[in-house]
C-alpha cells in the first residue's frame, strides 16, 4: 500500500501485483505505477499493464520493452505535447521498437504485447489501450469497463460463453508488435473523488466476472488487499494465465465533492421541495386561523 498527497490536487491510495498463475512457467506480464509528485507536484501519475505473447520468453521481452519505453518516453517528452498526442506517440514508439526486435531476431518473430495505460493529470483521467488488457472505473457502486477488447470475440459480437467455446474468440485483432499502422483507443474525462480505477491483464478476467470485480471494489479495505483477494480467487478458479492488477483509489480531490448520481440529486431536490411546500401550506393555515381569531375578537360571532 502506498499513500501520497499532492497539496495542490489530490490524494490517492494504490495497490499493484503480478502473479505467474497456476499453469505457466514464466510471467509474460509487465507493469508499472509511477507517481513522482514528490519531485514535481505537476507531474502526472502513470500506470501501465502489458501482457506479452510469442513463446520462448519473447512475450516477456515484448511486455517489458513496452513498459520501459512508455515510462521513459512519457516523462521525457511530456511538456512538449498535449497529453492525448503524447500517449499515442509513446505507444507507437514502443510498437516500432518491438517490431524492430521481432524482425531482427527469428526467435522473437511472433512476439507482441497488449497494453493498457491510465494517466492522471490534475483531476483528469486518460486511458489508452491496445489488445484485451482492461481498464475499469468504480464509482457510486457502479462498475464501468472503460476499454473495449480488441479480440475476434468483440469484433464478432460473441457472448462470454461463445467466446470461451470459439477457437478464435480470445485471439487479438490488435496488439503492439503486429503492424506499423498502430491504432490506439483513447478515452478521457474528469476524475472524481471516491473513484477507483482498475487495470488488469486478461489473466484476471478469464476467471473473474465484472460482478466479482464490483463486489471487491465496493469493500472498505485497501487497494492492495482487494488485489490480493482478486488474484487468489482467479487462481482458485484455475489461474490459467499470468495475472496482473493495478488499483488507484482517489481518496480526495481538494475542492471537489463526491460525485452524486443524477437520480440522487433529483431525489434530494424533490425532498427539499416537498418540505418547502409543506412549510408554506402550514404557515398559510396558521395565518388564516390567526385572521379568523382576530375577526372574532373585533366583530364577535355572527
C-alpha cell at 221: 479495505
Quick check: 290 pLDDT over 90? no
DSSP string across 133-178: -EEEEEETTEEEE-S---BHHHHTT--HHHHHHSTTTT-BS--BTS
Closest by CA to 249, choosing from 11, 9, 7, is 11
The pTM assigned to this predicted structure is 0.82
Rounded to the nearest 10°, the torsion over CA 222, 226, 228, 230 is 180
> CA 84 from chain center: how many Å?
17
Quick check: 255 pLDDT over 70? no
Quick check: 302 pLDDT over 50? no
More confident residue, 73 or 282: 73
In angstroms, the Cα distances linking 27 to 112, 113, 144, 231 are 14, 13, 28, 14
d(C-alpha 195, C-alpha 13), whole Å: 11
128-139 confidence digits (pLDDT tens): 999 999 999 999
More confident residue, 280 or 230: 230
180-220 confidence digits (pLDDT tens): 999 999 999 999 999 999 999 999 999 999 999 999 999 99
* Cα first-last separation, the chain: 82
40-89 confidence digits (pLDDT tens): 888 899 999 999 998 767 999 999 999 999 999 998 877 777 888 999 99
In angstroms, the Cα distances linking 162 to 205, 240, 265 are 15, 18, 40
Quick check: 264 pLDDT over 80? no
Mean pLDDT of the chain: 86
Phi, psi of 188 (to 5 degrees): -145, 140
Cβ atoms of 77 and 45 within 8 Å: the answer is no
Percent of the chain topping pLDDT 70: 82
d(C-alpha 89, C-alpha 70), whole Å: 9
Amino acid at each position: 500500500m502506498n499513500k501520497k498527497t499532492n497539496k495542490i490536487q489530490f490524494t490517492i491510495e494504490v495497490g499493484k501485483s503480478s502473479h505467474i498463475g497456476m499453469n505457466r512457467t514464466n510471467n509474460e506480464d509487465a507493469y508499472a505505477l509511477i507517481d513522482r509528485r514528490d519531485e514535481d507536484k505537476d507531474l502526472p501519475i502513470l500506470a501501465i499493464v502489458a501482457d506479452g505473447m510469442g513463446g520462448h520468453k519473447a512475450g516477456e521481452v515484448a511486455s517489458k520493452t513496452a513498459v520501459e519505453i512508455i515510462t521513459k518516453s512519457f516523462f521525457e517528452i511530456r511538456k512538449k505535447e498535449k497529453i492525448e498526442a503524447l500517449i499515442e506517440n509513446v505507444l507507437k514508439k514502443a510498437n516500432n521498437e518491438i517490431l524492430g526486435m521481432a524482425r531482427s531476431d527469428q526467435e522473437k518473430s511472433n512476439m507482441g504485447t497488449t497494453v493498457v495505460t491510465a494517466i492522471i493529470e490534475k483531476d483528469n483521467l486518460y486511458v489508452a489501450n491496445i489488445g484485451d488488457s482492461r481498464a475499469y472505473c468504480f464509482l457510486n457502486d457502479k462498475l464501468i469497463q472503460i476499454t473495449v477488447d480488441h479480440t475476434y470475440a468483440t469484433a464478432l459480437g460473441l457472448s462470454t460463453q461463445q467466446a470461451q467455446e470459439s477457437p478464435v474468440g480470445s485471439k487479438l485483432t490488435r496488439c503492439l508488435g503486429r503492424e506499423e499502422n498502430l491504432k490506439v483507443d483513447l478515452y478521457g474525462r474528469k476524475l472524481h473523488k471516491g473513484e477507483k480505477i482498475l487495470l488488469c491483464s486478461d489473466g484476471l478476467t478469464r476467471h473473474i466476472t465484472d460482478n466479482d470485480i464490483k463486489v471487491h471494489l465496493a469493500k472498505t479495505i485497501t487497494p492492495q488487499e482487494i488485489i490480493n483477494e482478486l488474484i487468489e480467487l482467479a487462481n482458485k478458479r484455475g489461474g490459467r494465465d499470468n495475472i496482473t492488477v493495478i488499483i488507484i483509489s482517489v481518496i480526495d480531490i481538494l475542492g471537489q465533492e463526491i460525485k452524486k448520481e443524477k437520480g440522487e440529486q433529483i431525489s434530494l431536490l424533490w425532498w427539499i421541495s416537498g418540505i418547502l411546500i409543506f412549510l408554506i401550506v402550514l404557515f398559510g393555515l396558521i395565518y388564516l386561523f390567526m385572521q379568523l381569531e382576530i375577526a372574532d375578537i373585533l366583530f364577535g360571532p355572527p
